[in-house]
Amino acid sequence: MSHAFADMQLEALAEDAWLLRLGETIDVAVNTRVHAAAALLRAHLPDVECVPAYASLLLRFDLDAHKSDRLREMIEAALSNPSPPTNGTREVTVPVWYSDESGADLQDVATHARMSPEEVIARHSAPLYHVAMLGFAPGFPYLLGLDPALSMPRRNQPRTRVPAGSVAIGGLQTGIYPQALPGGWHLLGRTPMRLFDLEASAPSLCQPGDRIRFQAIDEREYRRLAAETGATP
């Protein structure tokens, strides 16, 4: 077993599903280990499905193809490799129209952080975010890397409908709503990009392990891009 994964915990969730625990906290370092483990397992056990979360990895497999004791040995052997395959890291630029119209909570976040809305926008669009996992809804990326000064507890009263493309923060996380959904995060703006398209060869725009950079745009550019992508203006 590689030293990097020496403290892992493997537990059964079902006959054909295990959970590989690699930490207990929500942070980039732990999540990086999750994606490193996923890369190794996909390379050496391609028929085992790997689904990353913040600090764990769901493993699903065919009972007819794998016996439990042997599979555990194979997982440990795969994770004994010195380093995961190097396929490079994909970076995706997401244009965002930040405004009171497109992000109903921009002013509230600014007040909470004791900043101007312009400073909130500058700080939110500065980091290179890490796609920790997809969840909540198809194509919803949970992003790590938010400036701690922008951290804000979720809304006391969630909205019943958040517009598709809304860029929001909840606690120390940022996310993008791929469809119109209920939600309790604070809305800063909206992107014209389609986060999930079931008819596309790769339905989710963002994948776990990707890097995301937000690029501030104005309303005119948002509406131009929305017309091209078919997003709701």
Sign of CA dihedral 127, 138, 177, 20: negative
Amino acid at 123: R
Domains of the chain: 3-78 (3.30.1360.40), 91-229 (2.40.100.10)
What per-residue confidence (pLDDT) applies to 109?
A: 97
Q: Helices then strands (H, E): number in the chain?
A: 5, 13
Bridge partners (DSSP) listed for residue 94: 214
For 49-69, what is each residue's pLDDT tens digit?
999 999 999 999 988 777 767
Nearest residue to 216 via CA among 92, 96, 94, 93: 96
Strands of 69-202 (E only): list them.
91-98, 129-134, 141-144, 159-162, 166-170, 173-176, 181-183, 186-190
Q: Which amino acid is at 166?
A: S
Neighbours of 94 (CB within 10 A): 21
pTM of the prediction?
0.87
Is residue 105 classed as helix, strand or coil in its secondary structure? coil
Give the lowest-confidence range in 30-39, 49-58, 74-83, 156-165. 74-83
- In this predicted structure, the answer to whether residue 1 has a pLDDT above a threshold of 50 is no
Task: Determine what percent of the chain is predicted with pLDDT higher than 90.
Answer: 68
Measured distance CA(100)–CA(9) in Å, rounded = 45
> What is the rounded distance in angstroms from the CA atom of residue 111 to the CA atom of residue 56?
35
Region 83-106: mean pLDDT is: 86
Q: Do 57 and 39 touch, CB atoms closer than 8 A?
A: no
Q: Band of the pLDDT at 159, cuts 50, 70, 90?
A: very high
What is the reported pLDDT for 81?
72
- The distance in angstroms from the start CA to the end CA of the chain is 52
